Structure 1
Amino acid sequence: MRRARLTLSGLWLKYRYYVRRRATLPSWFPNPLPGTVVPAVVLHRGGDHTLSLDSVRDSFDRFLQTDDVFQKSFTKHSFLLVVPSPLIARPKDSEEQYRLRSYASCTTVESLDKRVPSDLAEYLESRSLTLCFLDELAVPEGPYFVADRQLHQAWRLYPDHLGAFSNTVIPDDTERFQSLQNSAFTGSEAAVAVPSRLYYKPTPWKPLSGRRIAIKDNMDLGGVVTGLGNRAYAELYGERSESAKLIQLLLEKGAVVVGKTKLSAFAGSEVPPTQCVDYFPPWNARGDGYQGPSGSSSGAASATGGYSWLDHSIGTDTTGSIRFPATSHGVWGLRSTWNSLPIEGVVPSCSAFDTFGLLGRTASSIGDLLAASGHRLAKNNATNSPWSKWPTRLLYPTEWLPVANDAQQRMIDAFLAALESYLGLKHQMVSLQEEWAQTGPKTLRHKTLLDIFKSAKLLNFYDNKHNFDKFRAEYQKKFEKSAYISPSHLKRWEEKVNKTQEERDRSLQEIEQFREWAQKTLFSTRGDGSSNTIMLVPHGRPGANYRDTEPSPASGPSTAPPALSAVFTVSAMGTPQLLIPSKCPKTGTLDSAGWPSTVLTGRYMFQVGNNERHSTASHLDPKL
């Protein structure tokens, strides 16, 4: 299979392309001059080859409206290839019967094939379009290139101007991948190759057909290095032989992986400007472009919030790694239920908390990923949900609510009111500490939630360090030097991991008992597996968080801010958590309240307005 990046000379194309060979053209096809590349457009038509001026123009308009790879320049000085519709079988006839019809070289309309109307013939001649009927060619509609009598797919090369990707990839013909460009440790701008959306048609067995997906660089992808945000780790282990189990499942459902996104080293929480040493931290497209990227799934959120050509990002969440970036970049985010998706092929951080995180610009896009992975989704009856009932309890935990910031609390109140209206119920104030003291396991009731929080932190830090003992030893043995670890992460390992294996195991037992209690007492399930409870949990903090500001010293357990305590507590519960970049959690609620549900890419999450639901910032404010 031929692969190459393509830049046509002159002003013919304003985009760069990567070409991927798909088919060999017949011997009678007029081969362009050696070294010449000619654009082509493939159209599907019925068995009689009937074409009209309107049908050709309509096809071109449809391609331009639905595809970000196709461009107007494909519609002139090009080949127009008419091939059988994949749903229509055609009889095999001689090659001569369906020989090339070259309208570009015709001198009179009368000399054209009678099956082509004169107005279409004139249109083709005026645009120098060479029309060919190719009955034996079975390829999707859309943009292509012809070179050396080969037909190549057109994959547009988008610049990674936010520095979100550690490695951009292209698939080969063996269900593996090759690196297109690696920019993880160089700081150089990568190019991301994306195929035309016209090549893909979703089906019941491939519901994600053509969805462009980026995956976090702690997940294995066959044929590609797993970097983990650390040069030494990438150097030691090299290319992986197979893809992570969930990624392989999504590929089988039709997803197209276009690259791997940057993360804080070892899925930790390195913060610019000084803590990110081995990699250049991604940019945040929001506001003035200098907001912090957060971590550890920083590249995943950066790409989702900044690139309209990317559909989804897959990350991981241990104790906030998807939730903090989701709020920092203003996108929909989901920490999936612990142990609900296959984690094989993901570098472990703390297995008791590790789970996948999904990022998107709509709630439905995240739902599509869950559905494709085998999840049963809680939707209303109008969407053919397997679940028939909505939750009947809405918990308002007094440990975390109300928040101190008045503006943030007003947003939460508006969110809560819309949710209550949509579900037809009222919230219930609850003290998790009091509930735990009354109904928790008798052997643990004497412990406070802060004690549980301390156990969760001990377990997380201990496992994150010792999961990489083998890596450090193997690197030392192979290269006869210590693996480089950034000072911030090394300090985390040295100062916060001073507990014994026995203390770690005891903390794990406490977390397992706390998780079992939470799932039975707070989030009890019905017979169909659905939960009857939603708990409102605040996340993030108001105000700017600039990337050029030194990070504040880490807070100890006794002074942990409520939002951080909530993050660890939810991780310990093992429950899913949905991060909502708006005032309502469901599209139906958003529609009924008149609020936006689709997040935009770039500077603004939503169109700027002057009301309770939208930003009041002026477009002219130089600080944004």
Structure 2
Amino acid sequence: MVGLNLPTVFPIPPEASTEISEAWMRKILDEYKTDDMFNEAFLANVVFLQPRGRRGEHPVTKDAIKFLQEHGMKDYTFISSSNYLPGPHVLADQELREVWKMVDDSNGTCMVTLKLQQVPSDIPEALVITGQDHALSFALPSRIKSKFQSLPFAGLRILIKDNIHLKGIRTSVGSRAFYDTYPPQEKSAQCIQEMVDKGAFIAGKTKMNSFGNWEEPIEYTDYQAPWNPRADGYQSTGGSSSGSASAIAAYDWLDIAIGTDTWGSITRPAQWCGCFGLRPSIGSISTDGIVPYVQSWDVPGILARYLQKCRAFAQEWLNFDNFDKAPESFSSIIWPTDFWKIMDHKQSSIAKSFAQDMAIKLNIKFEEISFEELWRSVPPSADAPLLPQFINQATASLAYDVYHNSEDFRSRYWNMFKRAPYTTMQNERLWDAGKKTTLNERNEGFQRIDIYRQWFQQTVWTGDHTNAITIMPLESATPRYRDDVPNFRRPPQDGINALALGPVMKSPVLAVPIAEIPYHSRVSDREEKLPFAVALMGAPGTDLKLIDTAIQILQSLHLPTVVQTGRSMYQD
């Protein structure tokens, strides 16, 4: 071979019994050009990959040769080997080697990026190449080979949150002390291994709020917070799946980012970074290999720009065998007034109009319900106190699990370094609360949460609302700059609030962007727009139906089911 030593492999289909024509070459080259890595420089040398067992070279027409020469071909050859895959390569030491596309992590979304594995069974290795301004670099494979593979996730480029174990890579949970304490993992989390086995490419592990806490960018201590590409570029990413959401909003090459959610850790970043976010039904996906926060509420989930792609991924990744069959349609829309009363009035009106339009389009009932008032009129027992008195302190008992789930870490760190580990002030406050909570207080709190769940199932999810969609707020879309010291309530309400209801009910929650809210930025000194999303909650096991319904409604209201990367979710 001569020229640039950049060959492209074209597979000849087994059924191609006739000659290689210009028409065939034009068609397959048009398909190759849709790949974000391929360019005509790789046509300097063309390699036709023949079916094994074929004798002799496949005939190539003069028109086909002329067509390829017009696109830069200097030479071509035939090979018959199972070692080579379709797409662009580089010739080195007389071997065809797969090409990587190097892309900077310009938004600082990742803790580590990974080398491209030649075979899925290889142990992942960290990529140590850095790009501009010392940013990490991603090594991306061409998607062309996936067009000739039958695996369901073939060609998908995915990032995973750094509280999810990946074989051969250290886990940080956003803490340098935790990173220093544990060796590279011996096995990947089950939910990640399954997607790798189905052909997904894991490009790296994303940053997160330390240990999964609610931390704003200025509170990141060990590692710099990821950058939110939306609006003026200096807004909060939300959390704790901050790096995953930032990456999805920033990088066109990324298909799916995996986060985790205990109460709002996927849906809040989905709002702040302007993307779709699915917290799946508890029990639909394994949590084995995920560093626990509150085990009974933890679940891995999906962040995506394309709602249809999120749906296809969820269908393959999640398992609903242990759930009742999802209803053919939802029965009503519930507007929980207790949750919406703290929201910005104008934004609440936007969301309410969306909810009412949704009910009209689906031809179902829309009803405003105060859970506090319903509890007052139909309590779980005659002697039950008012809902705030019954439940507010109960959710505080979750701190017990957060603290005690970290016992092994604290013990290991002390044995290794003979001192206590440093963690953030926000984490220390939570650990202190968990340390002061007794096991009896913890168990009583969870018993009250169970009573609330049963009451909700029997009192709210009944009659017209048996298969309801509850439309909930996430946060008001107001500027929250990276250098702002937080002075707002976290969480915004006590007890079982809008972020906690999904985990309590073991339900799927889907964050859906529906608008952009203008504001005058002190950074850019111009009008910018913040994403604004609502959260849709269905009954356990209705995940796919919830996404299908969201797609239907967005399309009928002429709202996008695809958001763009960069400053704005929507095209100008």
Say whether residues 1:348 and 2:285 are aligned partners.
Answer: no
Query: In the alignment, what sits opposite 2:511?
Result: 579
What's the offset of the Cα at 1:364?
2.0
- Contact 2:277-2:304 at 8 Å conserved across structures: yes
Q: How big is the shift at 1:442?
A: 2.1
Distance 1:128 1:404 in 2: 61
Name the Cα RMSD after superposition.
3.1
Q: Which amino acid aligns with 2:29?
A: F
Residue in 2 aligned with 1:322? 266
Secondary structure of 1:286's match? Answer: coil
- Match in the other structure for 1:73: 41
Equivalent pair of 1:436/1:445 in contact (CA under 8 Å): no
Matching residue of 1:130: 75
Match of 1:613 in 2: none
Between the aligned partners of 1:443 and 1:201, the Cα distance in structure 2 is: 63
CA distance in 1, matches of 2:16, 2:83: 13
Q: In the aligned structure 2, how far is the partner of 1:338 from the partner of 1:166?
A: 27
**Distance across 1 between alignment mates of 2:73 and 2:151:** 38
Q: Identity of aligned pairs, percent?
A: 29
Match of 1:568 in 2: 500
Contact 1:264 1:295 in 2 (8 A): yes
Deviations 1:471-509 (A, max 9, x none): 111111112222221233223323565222221121122
Q: Could you tell me which residue of structure 1 aligns to residue 565 of structure 2?
A: 601
Q: Which of 153, 162, 175 does residue 230 from structure 1 map onto?
A: 175
In structure 2, how many angstroms separate the alpha carbons of the residues matched to 1:469 and 1:91?
60
Change in CA separation of 1:554 and 1:590 when aligned onto 2, cut-off 3 Å: closer
| Number of residue pairs aligned between Structure 1 and Structure 2 | 533
Q: How does 1:149-164 map to 2 (within 5 A)?
A: 149-164=94-109
Partner residue of 1:52 out of 8, 21, 38: 21
Please say which of residues 493-502 and 587-596 is displaced more in the overlay: 493-502
For structure 2, list consecutive stretches of 5 or more residues without a partner in the other structure: 516-533, 535-548
Partner of 1:622: none
The answer on whether the counterparts of 1:296 and 1:325 sit within 8 Å (CA) in structure 2 is yes
Alpha-carbon distance change, 444 to 476 in structure 1, aligned in 2, over 3 angstroms: farther
**Using a 3 Å threshold, how does the CA distance of structure 1 residues 225 and 130 change in structure 2: closer, same or farther?**
same
Among 291, 299, 303, the residue aligned to 2:247: 303
Q: Which residue identity lines up with residue 452 of structure 2 in the other structure?
A: F
2: CA distance, partners of 1:575 / 1:182: 41
TM-score (norm 1): 0.79
- Give the equivalent residue in structure 1 for 2:48: 82
- 1:438-457 equivalence runs, <5 A: 438-442=377-381, 445-449=384-388, 451-457=390-396
The alignment status of 1:536 with 2:480, answered yes or no, reads no
Deviates more, 1:483-492 or 1:260-269: 483-492
Distance in 1 between the 2:307 and 2:430 partners?
35
1:40 alignment partner, one of 3, 8, 21: 8
**Does the 8 A contact of 1:41 with 1:74 survive in 2?**
no
Which letter does structure 2 place at the counterpart of 1:177? P
Q: Which residue of 2 aligns with 1:545?
A: 480
1:411 corresponds to which letter in structure 2? I
User: 1:452 aligns to what SS in structure 2?
Assistant: helix
Preserved CA contact (<8 Å) 1:335 1:357: yes
Task: Give the equivalent residue in structure 2 for 1:119.
Answer: 63
What are the ranges of 5 or more consecutive residues in structure 1 without an aligned counterpart?
Answer: 1-29, 99-112, 378-385, 609-624
Q: Specify the alignment match of 1:405 in structure 2.
A: 344
- Measured against aligned partners, the alpha-carbon deviations of 1:581-606 in whole angstroms (never above 9, x if no partner) come to 12796222222222211111111101
Q: Is the Cα contact below 8 Å between 2:208 and 2:239 reproduced in 1?
A: yes
- Taking a change above 3 Å as real, the CA distance of residues 450 and 357 of structure 1, as seen in their structure-2 partners, is farther
Q: Please, which of 248, 256, 263 is the counterpart of residue 312 of structure 1?
A: 256
Query: What whole-Å deviation, never above 9, does each CA across 1:95-139 have from its counterpart, x for those lacking one?
Result: xx44xxxxxxxxxxxxxx9x4333333444552421111133464
Shift of 1:425: 1.4
| 2:304 is the counterpart of 1:360 | yes
Match of 2:407 in 1: 469
**Secondary structure in 2 matching 1:427:** strand
The one-letter code sitting in structure 2 at the alignment partner of 1:499 is T
- Cα gap change, 1:445/1:407 in structure 2, threshold over 3 Å: closer, same or farther? same
Structure 1 counterpart SS, 2:393: helix
The alpha-carbon distance between structure 1 residues 434 and 525, as it changes in their structure 2 partners (threshold 3 A), is closer
Shift of 1:396: 1.5
**Could you say which residue in structure 2 is the equivalent of 1:415?**
354
Q: 1:60: Cα distance to partner?
A: 2.3
Q: Which residue of 1 aligns with 2:397?
A: 458
> Following TM superposition, by how much is the alpha carbon of 1:238 offset from its aligned partner in structure 2, in angstroms?
1.6
Amino acid at match of 1:214: L
Give the equivalent residue in structure 1 for 2:228.
284
The 3 A distance-change label for structure 1 pair 41 and 49 is: farther
Deviations 1:278-301 (CA, angstroms, capped at 9, x unpaired): 111100010111111221110010
Q: Which protein, 1 or 2, shows the higher relative CO under an 8 Å CA cutoff with sep ≥ 6?
A: 2
Structure 1 counterpart of 2:48, one-letter code:
V
TM-score, L = length of structure 2: 0.85
Q: Is the Cα–Cα contact under 8 Å of residues 456 and 572 in structure 1 kept in the other structure?
A: no
For 2:450 and 2:22, the matched residues in 1 are separated by: 68
Structure 1 residues 372, 444: CA separation in 2 closer, same or farther (over 3 Å shift)? farther
SS of 1:69's partner is coil
Query: How many angstroms apart in 2 are the aligned matches of 1:350 and 1:182?
Result: 36
Deviation string, structure 1 residues 8-47 (Cα, Å, up to 9, x no partner)? xxxxxxxxxxxxxxxxxxxxxx5x79xx953434343454
Q: Say if 1:206 and 1:596 are closer, same or farther in 2 by CA, change over 3 A.
A: same
Q: Is the 8 A contact 1:476 1:483 kept in 2?
A: yes
Structure 2 CA distance for aligned equivalents of residues 444 and 579 of structure 1: 37
Cα deviation 1:452-473 (Å, max 9, x = unaligned): 23311331x2221221122111
Q: Which has the larger radius of gyration?
A: 1
Contact 1:304 1:311 (8 Å CA) reproduced: yes
SS across alignment from 2:338: coil
User: CA separation in 2, counterparts of 1:253 and 1:571?
Assistant: 28
Provide the residue aligned with 1:21 in structure 2.
none
Q: 2:141 aligns with which of 195, 208, 211?
A: 195
